[in-house]
Homo-oligomer: A and B are copies of this chain.
């Protein structure tokens, strides 16, 4: 009889009664699954994130133990001997505890960036290097959000991580957050990927508000062809130069450019394929469920999360505005005018933001093909965010 009572007390239903907030988290996870599956919000990451969130909030399941990574350290001894429980016993480490090591040690975001590099064509950027200015301006959202977050009482480390949401690059945001404010990984990842999926909703009104119909109709000259040699030199030169300027950005830029060199060199096709397919897919699954698993009720269900979600929209908005406005400013001096709609693509969210530029532009002028022009700022924004991330890591990294 006592055994049965003990058994019932070990069920999740009993444990839920002690920690009812986890039920709310299960609902949140299901909402995210809905967004991922039905609304197709960046499902590659949002589905694993949501499932990780679900698993971590099943009371008693013990698939993830935040204690293993408390105080910013990895507690190897607990990996060896199990996690101490309140009742004096120990519990073996769970699946996500092990997978989370890849986040904690910064491995997954870099490996994903290798895959992203394998899939990125920097040709449009090399053909039109001015794009880099737009990619720089679109980082405005990051710093505006940093100000906002600091004023709302977040620490500089947390404010940096929240600001990076405005970079619209998942791996960059997760890399910075895992280093500076791992306690915010859950909400920041959710915000970053949700708003990336919402780019077609967030950006167009801002783009239209800041431009005239005439500006939106500007047609741009066709891009020059880029030689293979330039494409091969680009990743090498960028890695060396950016890393010397800002060593703290070297991991992200180096990983991205390693992938791009594997792509453009054309001599390691096998490696290129694996890096952008199976390796990246595997890491994506592991990264998603690990990041999701940090979103426990205690970490997620508080006013901070709401602030982060609000600040995330601000970040995307100001990034969009920054890009558009700098394009308008540049037009004051340029003979061949830039269509300011491609400025918004500088927030990255590759290639979604570039497509938004194309769609908005074509609405005004059906013969206007902005996609390739927008790809320049789009990929420049990836570099820009990595540089911004490097600044934060240099200032606040341990």
A residues sitting closer than 8 Å to B (CB atoms) are 7, 10-13, 15-16, 26, 30, 33, 36-37, 40, 43-44, 47-48, 51, 54-55, 58-63, 73-77, 79-82, 89-95, 97-99, 105-107, 110, 114, 179, 232, 236, 239-240, 243-248, 250-251, 254-255, 258, 261-262, 265, 267-268, 270-271, 273-275, 277-279, 281-282, 284-285, 289, 394, 397-398
**Least distance between A76 CB and chain B CB atoms (Å):** 5
Q: Are A51 and B105 in contact (CB-based, < 8 A)? A: no
With both chains docked as a complex, state the minimum distance between the C-beta of A179 and any C-beta of chain B, in angstroms.
Answer: 6
Cα distance A179–B91 in the bound complex, in angstroms = 10
* A244 and B40 contacting across the interface, CB-CB below 8 Å: no
Q: How far does the Cβ of A375 sit from chain B's closest Cβ, in whole Å?
A: 22
Let me know if B30 and A179 touch, CB within 8 A: no
**Given A58-B247, A244-B13; A75-B80 close (CB under 8 Å):** yes
Residues of B within 8 A of A251 (CB): 61-63, 94-95
Q: Are A254 and B61 in touch, CB under 8 angstroms?
A: yes
A16 / chain B contacts, CB cutoff of 8 Å: 244
Contacts of A12 in B (CB 8 A): 243-247
Check A44/B247 contact, CB under 8 A, given A236-B30, A240-B54: no
Determine the chain B residues whose CB is within 8 A of the CB of A232 once the complex forms: 37
Asked if residues A11 and B247 are in contact (CB atoms below 8 Å), the reply is yes
Residues of chain B contacted by A37 (CB below 8 angstroms): 232, 265, 267
Can you show 14 pairs from A to B with CB atoms below 8 A apart? Answer: A12-B245, A33-B261, A48-B258, A58-B247, A58-B250, A76-B80, A79-B105, A82-B398, A93-B105, A270-B277, A271-B281, A274-B278, A275-B281, A278-B279
- Chain B contacts for A105, CB-based, 8 A: 79, 92-93, 97-98
Neighbour of A247 across the interface among B61, B243, B281, CB < 8 A: B61
Which of B11, B43, B268, B279 sits near A282, CB closer than 8 Å? Answer: B279
A10 partner residues in chain B, CB cutoff 8 A: 247-248, 394
Residues of B within 8 A of A282 (CB): 274-275, 278-279
Query: Nearest 3 CB-CB pairs, A to B?
Result: A60-B247, A12-B244, A61-B250
Residue among B63, B94, B398 making CB contact with A91, cutoff 8 Å = B398
Give the docked Cα–Cα distance between A243 and B273 (Å).
Answer: 36
Query: Residue on B with the closest CB to A99?
Result: B107
Q: How far is the CB of A221 from chain B (nearest CB, A)?
A: 31
**Chain B residue contacts of A43, Cβ below 8 A:** 265, 267-268
